[in-house]
Amino acid sequence: MQIGKVGIVGAGTMGASIAVALIGRGYPVVLKDVDEQAVRSGMGRIDRLLDSRVKRGLPVDEAEAMRALVQPATDYSAFPDLDLVIEAVGEKVDLKKAVFEQLDDCCNIHAILATNTSSLPVTQIASFTRRPDQVVGMHFFNPAHLMKLVEVIPGLETSADTVRTAIEFGQKLGKFAVRVEECASFLVNRLLGRYMNEALWCLQEGASLEEIDQAACDFAAPVGPLALRDMNGADIGLAVARFNYQEYGERFRPPEILERMVEQNLLGQKTGSGFYLYNSETKKRSGPNPRVEDLLKDLKAKPEGDAQFSVERLFLPMINESFLVLQEKVCAAEDLDPALMAGLGLKKGPLAMAAEIGLSQCLKEIESLFRTKGERFRPAPLLKRYVWANRMAVIA
């Protein structure tokens, strides 16, 4: 199926960013939200993004032509003409249910309905329609007009044609479109969650903010995990952590410091204070937040055994989870590292890290941490099999 005109439901930060990604490739877009004010706000976001491109050299006439491709809407009257609709509303099942029921009624019978959910079950969302075979997850990464990854997630009933069309469409947007089988938090956010949590466990054991963030940046990350938590918001981080804990169990247990941060409204950049302090106007970081140290005093635990802080300790949970992902066939092995690099900006993916450290050494360190830290370091069976088979890497 060829995609011509596209609808986006939700003109917030993500919806506007997706719209810019589309019009940048020449796709006409209907941008819909609940009222005129919400739509105007969305169009304002698009204008600001295009203005920033003009400042970086985009010709004004090209920016104006892109802007003209966006049709603002507060109802579904233009939707019967669309080939694809991307839902980008809040992460609430009831809200998505209402949207997909309306889309099912007003879109033509051949239209594909995509959800930009970052974690909710695609199969459940598809069940709100009479066309579950034409519903697919298309998880863009923020900011969608810049980030190079889109996860394409089939539900249980999604047809092969729908998946193929979604992947081809993602590729035409210049994205690395990777097929990911349905699971909680999908691929990238699932692996990210293990790494983000471990940074907090290390903090509770006495490693410093700067030590953790600098080690992560020196090893592979574009920004440290604690600075990243401040960027995304501790409240959002806690909601995601609780969801993953509910779905996956003990290895995803949220560290208590995250709960305390949310209780104290230390949410990060949006409140001016998180793990670090921020200028209220520029959002520039000004140093560690002393209130966090006060919170940590009651939580700090002495490292057990020889489990001192190390940069490998930060990434070993992500590496271990990668082998669980491969064991579950969530994605193709050759797609895992490119997806993590495109979605998170890592300099190297977890499988490359594992090969660099050595699979046998990874297993040795994970087993040691399992003895002292418990369930969150239970070794992945597939990692053990690779070591027993004397494999040096996942992909030869």
pLDDT in tens, 115-167: 999 989 999 999 999 999 999 999 999 999 999 999 999 999 999 999 999 99
Q: Tens digit of pLDDT for each residue in 322-361? A: 999 999 999 999 999 999 999 999 999 999 999 999 999 9
CATH architecture for segment(s) 6-179: 3-Layer(aba) Sandwich (3.40)
Complete DSSP assignment for 329-384: TSS-HHHHHHHHHHHH--SS-HHHHHHHH-HHHHHHHHHHHHHHH-GGGPPPHHHH
pTM for this one?
0.94
Fold of the CATH domain 197-214+225-297:
N-(1-d-carboxylethyl)-l-norvaline Dehydrogenase; domain 2 (1.10.1040)
Q: Tens digit of pLDDT for each residue in 227-282? A: 999 999 999 999 999 999 999 999 999 999 999 999 999 999 999 999 999 988 88
For residue 22 the two structure tokens come to 């589309």
Any idea where the domains of the chain sit in the sequence?
Answer: 6-179, 197-214+225-297, 311-388
139 is catalytic: yes
Closest CA to 232 of 268, 195, 282: 268
Q: Tens digit of pLDDT for each residue in 173-193? A: 999 999 999 999 999 999 999
Residue 57: other Cβ atoms inside 10 A:
6
CATH architecture for segment(s) 311-388: Orthogonal Bundle (1.10)
* Active-site hit among 5, 45, 131, 139: 139
CA 23 to mean position of chain CA atoms: 23
User: What is the band of 299 on the pLDDT scale with cuts at 50, 70, 90?
Assistant: confident
| Same fold yes or no, 197-214+225-297 and 311-388 | yes
